Amino acid sequence: AQKITQTQPGMFVQEKEAVTLDCTYDTSDQSYGLFWYKQPSSGEMIFLIYQGSYDEQNATEGRYSLNFQKARKSANLVISASQLGDSAMYFCAMYSGGGADGLTFGKGTHLIIQP
Amino acid sequence: DAGITQSPRHKVTETGTPVTLRCHQTENHRYMYWYRQDPGHGLRLIHYSYGVKDTDKGEVSDGYSVSRSKTEDFLLTLESATSSQTSVYFCAIRRDTSNYGYTFGSGTRLTVV
């Protein structure tokens, strides 16, 4: 079975600073995928970024990048130049194997950006 | 968004009553999922479906049943609602893309009193 661990329940960051949200994972499968989702106070789950286990380069999507360290089984999300609108819950998630049985989520990190 | 509609969006029900939540998709995806979200737990998988009449249990399936008689609809039933089933319920679909593109509905907030 797979497991996701997010060790930061909450974080306060000054606007315009870079933010790193930690995520470690555990799986015995060689093929897996890692995701980050954002959940603002309105409640919807917004896809941010994806990294496949065989991808050699770290994924990037605009201000988001995923620092993938396979040997350490970590998949940290980096947000550059944080904005007030980045305040939200952030969830790390993964599928393993064929992915048919859905995603396994971490417990989330509540990020608050301060002006 | 992404053709996923959950209904109702909010519901208050009494302990012991049956409740059915509906997830409707317009994009003909094979895989559909039901999750519940509780503070301190993230999202946890209840049941999933890999086709019409093909379903399987997730991590927290006790007290829940599902049905999928049509590709577009995935129903979650709380057979006899309990206060511990007060939660936000999310439906999701998996796309046939390289990253599977899991996409979530807007959620149903269920309160059992």
**What is the dihedral sign for C-alpha A102, A107, A111, B1?**
positive
Question: In the predicted model, what is the mean pLDDT of residues B61-81?
Answer: 97
Residue B2 pLDDT > 80: no
Of A4, A101, A105, the CB nearest to B48: A101
Find, in chain A, the residue whose alpha carbon is nearest to that of B42. A107
Chain B residues with CB inside 8 Å of A106's CB?
A: 42
Q: What is the DSSP letter of A9?
A: S
Tally of CB atoms within 10 A around A29: 13
pLDDT, averaged per 10 consecutive residues of chain A (115 residues), comes to: 94 97 96 96 96 95 97 97 97 88 95 97
Q: Which residues pair with A78 in a beta bridge?
A: A20, A65
Residue B40 pLDDT > 90: no
Are A103 and B58 a contacting pair at CB < 8 A?
no
Find, in chain A, the residue whose alpha carbon is nearest to that of B6. A44
- Residues of A numbered 19-38 whose beta carbons fall under 8 angstroms of chain B's beta carbons: which are they? 33, 35, 37
Are B50 and A100 a contacting pair at CB < 8 A?
yes
Q: Is B43 in a helix, a strand, or coil?
A: strand
Burial group, residue B81, by CB count within 10 angstroms (0-12, 13-18, 19+): buried
pLDDT at site B80: 97
Question: In the predicted model, what is the mean pLDDT of residues B24-47?
Answer: 94
Q: What is the DSSP letter of A84?
A: G
Chain B residues with CB inside 8 Å of A89's CB?
A: none
Asked if B23 has any chain A CB less than 8 Å from its own CB, the reply is: no
Where residue A108 falls (left for φ over 0; alpha for ψ -120 to 50; beta otherwise) is left
Alpha-carbon torsion, ordered B58, A2, A107, B94, to 10 deg = -60
The closest alpha carbon to A75, from A5, A9, A2, belongs to: A5
A1 to chain B nearest CA, in Å? Answer: 11
- Residues of B numbered 74-103 whose beta carbons fall under 8 angstroms of chain A's beta carbons: which are they? 88, 90, 92, 94, 98-103
**DSSP per-residue letters across A86-115:** G-EEEEEEEEETT-TT--EE---EEEEEE-
C-beta separation of B34 from B54 below 8 A: no
pLDDT at site B97: 78
